[in-house]
Amino acid sequence: METRFFNPKIEKLSPSELRVLQFKKLKTVLRRVYQKVPFYREKLKEAGINLSKIKTLSDLKELPFTTKEDLFVDYPFGLLAEPLEKVVRLHTSSGTTGKPKAIFFSKKDIWAQAELIARALVMTGSTSQDILQNSMTYGLFTGALVMHYGAELLGMLVIPAGPGNTERQIELMRTFGTTCVHMTPSYALYVATVIQGKGLKPGVDIKLKRAYLGAEPYSEETRRKIEEMLKVDVYNCYGLSEMGGPGVAFECQFKKGLHLWEDAFIAEIIDPKTGMPVKPGEVGELVLTTLNRTAMPLIRYRTRDLTYAFEEPCPCGRTHIKIARIIGRADDMFIVRGVNIFPQQIEAVLMGIKGVAQNYQIILEGLDEMIVKVEIDRDFFDGRIERLLKLRDEITEKLKAVIQVRPKVELVEPGTLPVSEGKAKRVIDRRTL
Amino acid sequence: MICVEILSIFAENKPGKLEKITEVLAKNDINILGFSIVSVKDFGVIKFLVDKPKLAYEKFKEGGFTVALLPALGIELKDRPGGLHEVVKIISSKGINIESALVYVAETRKKAYFVFEVEDLERAWEALKDEKVNFLKPSEFIKE
């Protein structure tokens, strides 16, 4: 694939120029939040920070973090750095309890984020001739609208399909010759299964080239599976509402790590327990500072997403840092018998085993029991119970090797576990601890 | 080779599961000639010998069941004490391991067959074909 750029100057800025640009923008942002956001002024004062003492980018780590809880302190408008009349859009992101996070965009923010998306789309080979079927949820969730604006900025034809109604999704793909889709990985798997079930041939009846999958973590195995089933290139896309939605980081044609746009964010990777930076290449929590956002700038925001940074430069020529696909949410992590476990670890094991279908579910119950329900592959079944028992043992042993805990594995029929058409709910905790 | 086809259906151990399975057969006018259920706590495999195996297979597929249609051998049982023992003795004397089995009693009620699945059907057939036994032929019960 030919390497193309939406904003070559910024995308190929030398690392030293990028640092200079980041520092300049950081100073501006800090000054603005200090002047305009009482919450930040207090926070900085409390931490004894004198802004004139911030001399280099590395001084950033002296500043206090912003947490999800902080978004609710002066809720809902308290973090605005612009008067409300400059704000043009609200997005919310569901919290686990109570009120949703409220994220505000100015006109400038909308188009700045759209540019990040446009860069990402070009980076993966899309052009204004492509047709994007946007199957994320339109509405309060940032996923669909932000992608929509970015794709339009590039000049793609956007089909605002929204999620669900799989029959119609497939019909749209066939009628309008959709070349790109934007959806969650779990939904992509579901759509791919339905396409196969209908006997439609990807590449012939359905002419998809690329699938932009994000909003929930997935493994390399899942990517390969979807690529094979739909005959597409799958690109991993990372974002969060607090940072303006999708487009924060995106894979390039080489699909090895996601370029995080450093002219728009400063990325740090920290130890979630100590708050200190991890060693280069180590897994930690991603912390982001917004550099462009005007309505609602956030300083050192704890994303709760776990990743690591790549050291080596990317052959695509972009200088912006690369992060690994999200390994897990610090919040998704669950503990069984004292061991930290991420659903993605389980998914990675299952996807590597022959005889296993797409869906799985983790149920925690009793005192500290872990049950993994796994759908068997229809074609694997040959009527022999011995083969099923062997499969069950194989799954149990492989899981044990990776997560250090022996789960109880239950084989279930394909299509019986809940397939979510949005974010898949993989862990059900019924423990009575 | 003289062999018959057995339907195998994967089933989780849930109330009403067997009812749903037998409903498919009943609705499509498929007669069950023999069946067996093997269950290991949370799941099992239900096996049927039916008079319309191809139709049954299609209908189960359509209904979203996890189903397989596999060949098995059937040997006639003598209707007297020790009848099953004689047949099983012949099979085991050839070193053949029976993976699952069911019994089919013919419509006339005069004949019964021991129908069994093995890992290597070819090899089992080669070992048994010259024995003095009657093999169950599909023509004796197939109605499709």
Is A384–B99 a contact, with Cβ atoms under 8 angstroms apart?
Answer: yes
Which stretches in chain B have pLDDT values below 70? none
Tokens of residue A196, six digits: 């196969």
**Helix residue ranges per DSSP H, chain B:** 17-27, 53-62, 83-93, 121-128
Give the CA dihedral A295, A299, A303, A309, nearest 10 degrees. Answer: 120
Whether A208 and A341 map to the same domain: the answer is no
Domain range for residue A369? 334-429
| Element (DSSP H or E) covering residue A181 | strand A180-183
Among A415, A114, A399, A389, residue whose Cα is nearest residue A239:
A114
Question: What residue type is A36 in one-letter code?
Answer: K
Chain A partners within 8 Å of B10 (Cβ): 376, 381, 388, 413
Picking from A330, A354, A387, the residue at the C-terminal end of a domain is A330
Regarding whether A353 and A206 lie in a shared domain, the answer is no
Residue among A409, A413, A416, A417 with most chain B CBs within 10 A, to mutate: A413
Burial class (CB in 10 A: 0-12, 13-18, 19+), B62: exposed
One domain for residues A296 and A404 = no
Pinpoint the residues of chain B covered by CATH 3.30.2130.10. Answer: 4-70
What are the tens digits of pLDDT across the range B122-142? 999 999 999 999 999 999 899
Contact: B70, A383; criterion CB under 8 Å = yes
Name which of B12, B47, B65 is nearest A383 (Cβ-Cβ). Answer: B47
Nearest beta carbon to residue A381 from set B6, B38, B66:
B66
Which pLDDT does position A95 carry in this prediction? 59
- Both A258 and A128 in one domain: the answer is yes
The tokens of A9 are what? 């100057």
Compute the Cα dihedral for A59, A64, A68, A71 and give only its sign.
Answer: negative
Q: Which CATH number fits the domain that encloses residue A408? A: 3.30.300.30
Q: Are A257 and A324 in contact (CB under 8 A)?
A: yes
**Domain end position, chosen among A330, A364, A392:** A330
CATH topology of domain B4-70: VC0802-like (3.30.2130)
Q: Do B45 and A383 touch (CB under 8 A)?
A: yes
Last residue of one domain, picked from the residues A313, A330, A347: A330
Longest CA–CA separation in chain B, Å: 45
The verdict on A177 and A302 lying in the same domain is yes
Number of domains in chain A: 2
Give residue ranges of B with CB < 8 Å to any A CB: 6, 8, 10-12, 38, 40, 42-45, 47, 64-68, 70, 99-100, 117
Angle among Cα A188, A353, A333 to the nearest 5 degrees reads: 65
Same domain, A316 and A393: no
* Same domain flag for A260 and A228: yes
| Cβ atoms A290, A243 nearer than 8 A | yes
Give 10-residue mean pLDDT values along chain A (433 residues). Answer: 92 96 97 97 94 92 94 94 97 76 97 98 97 95 96 98 94 97 93 94 94 86 92 95 96 96 97 86 90 98 92 93 86 78 82 88 91 93 92 96 91 82 69 73
Q: How many beta-carbon pairs below 8 A join chains A and B?
A: 50
What residue of B is the nearest CA neighbor of A411? Answer: B43
A-chain residue closest to B101, CA distance: A384
DSSP string, A207-262: ---EEEEESS---HHHHHHHHHHHTSEEEEEEEEGGGTEEEEEEE-TT-SSEEE-T
Query: What does CATH list as the number for B72-140?
Result: 3.30.70.260
Residues A134, A93 share a domain? yes
Whether A158 and A282 map to the same domain: the answer is yes
Same structural domain, A295 and A356: no
pLDDT of residue A421: 45
Which CATH number characterizes residue A165's domain?
3.40.50.12780
Instruction: Name the token pair of A227.
Output: 């690529």
Interface of A with B (CB under 8 A): 376, 378, 381-386, 388-389, 410-416
Residues A149 and A199 in one domain: yes
Q: Is A143 found in the same domain as A27?
A: yes
CB-based contact B12 A414, cutoff 8 Å: no
From chain B, pick out residues whose CB is under 8 angstroms from the CB of A384: 8, 45, 99-100, 117
Evaluate whether A299 touches A63 at the Cβ level (below 8 Å).
Answer: yes
**Is the peptide bond between A246 and the residue preceding it cis, with omega within 30 degrees of 0?**
no
